[in-house]
Amino acid sequence: MSATPEISVVIPVFNEELNLPLLFSRLYPVLDGLGRPYEVIFTNDGSMDRSLELLKAQHSARPGVTRIIDFNGNYGQHMAIMAAFERVRGQVIVTLDADLQNPPEEIPKLLALIDAGHDYVGGFRINRKDSLFRTMASRMINVVRSRTTAIEMTDQGCMLRAYRRPIIEAIVQSGAVNTFIPALAYSYSSKPTEVGVRHEERHAGVSNYSLYMLIRLNFDLITGFSLAPLQLFTMVSLACAAGSFLLVVVLALRRFVFVGPEEGGTFTLFGILFFLISVTMVGIGLIGEYVGRTYQVVRVRHRYFVREIIEAGD
């Protein structure tokens, strides 16, 4: 039906059966209204509900513009997007969440900025509709990120973004494993911009991110783009080492020159010792984060496994 698509919309789907019908009914009219050839690529990221069935039905309804990548298991939102990036045909790529937190009606806004010559358009959520905790945690990580990496982003959690093809090609070539796609894209862009987009409550279901996963994701964001945590750790350790050395000198002088043997103070020493041990342990954990990532890249395993691709044959 369609010519080579100009716009590729990429949507990761994990247990979204309650959201997909509304997503379809809102997304396709917006895209049809653009009057430009497009494709929508859904990656089913190992959903356990009826998501795949609904996606297949949508493919039957709109075969020319709908493609489905079906993973054999759950590999996470970013890998789902990555798999679609490897297969996009459009010159402009838009990413979107399936839960309608990013209103599809905002897509034309992003495209207008791409048409105006930008190669990266990041959305930031106006009136963010998330729990206070999520919003606060997000603010905090924003501060850490802007201090430790060169990435400038108002709202790293917003997935409604548009990219020009060369950026997506660069991301695919980088073969990143643990990656935060908007940040990686930003680092490859030459004329980035941002635009405010509406934000809605998740239409149905609950967020797939637990606190633990959010922490992991933010570790990816920071360790994936900067060595600052390791460098900071070195500085802190150096300061501790200098402090401990001074302490040893003071204690030695007390023992041999001024006061003589003492009984008290054992617990102070324990306190200091525990502090130093904890610094060391944090350091080991931090090194582990980097080593783990290095290991994942080095062992060159499949980042994900595609069970089936459902698309119209040419």
The residues of the shown chain that bind Mg ion, judged by CB under 5 A, are 99, 101, 202
How far apart are CB 228 and Mg ion at their closest, in Å?
A: 29
Residues 6+ apart with CB under 8 A from 199: 101, 102, 103, 125, 126, 127, 128, 129, 130, 158
By beta-carbon proximity to ligand UDP, the closer residue of 212 and 267 is 212
> Taking the complex as a whole, how short is the minimal distance between the CB of residue 72 and ligand UDP, in angstroms?
14
DSSP code, position 106 = G
Q: Return the biggest CA–CA distance within the chain.
A: 93
Binding site partner of 193, from Mg ion, ligand UDP, none, Cβ cut-off 5-8 A by kind:
none
Q: Which residues, numbered 140-169, are part of the site for ligand UDP (CB under 6 A)?
A: 157
In whole angstroms, give the CA distance from residue 160 to residue 96.
5
Determine, following the binding rule CB under 6 A, whether residue 74 of this chain makes contact with ligand UDP.
Answer: yes
Cα dihedral sign for 175, 180, 181, 186? negative
Of residues 97 and 194, the one with the C-beta less far from ligand UDP: 97
Rounded (10°) CA dihedral 9, 198, 17, 84: 20
The pairing of strands 161-164 and 92-95 is antiparallel
Closer CB to ligand UDP, 119 or 222, in the complex:
222
Window 80 to 139, contacts with ligand UDP (CB under 6 A): 80, 97-99, 101
User: In angstroms, what is the minimal distance from the CB of 87 to Mg ion?
Assistant: 23
Binding pattern to ligand UDP, positions 237-256, x when CB under 6 A?
Answer: --------------------
CB of 125 to Mg ion, least distance (A): 11
13 binds, among Mg ion, ligand UDP, none (CB under 5 to 8 A by kind): ligand UDP
Q: Which is nearer to ligand UDP, 125 or 293 (CB)?
A: 125
Closest to 171 measured CA to CA, from 89, 79, 109, 96: 79
Site for ligand UDP in 13-72 (CB under 6 A): 13-14, 16, 45
What is the length of the chain?
A: 314
Question: How many helices (DSSP H) and strands (DSSP E) are in the chain?
Answer: 10, 8
Helix (H, G, I), strand (E, B) or coil at 18: coil
Binding segment for ligand UDP among 8-16, 26-34, 82-90, 107-115 (CB under 6 A)?
A: 8-16
**What is the distance between the alpha carbons of residues 192 and 50, in angstroms, rounded to a whole number?**
38
Q: Which chain residues interact with ligand UDP by CB under 6 A? A: 12-14, 16, 45, 74, 76-77, 80, 97-99, 101, 157, 202, 207-209
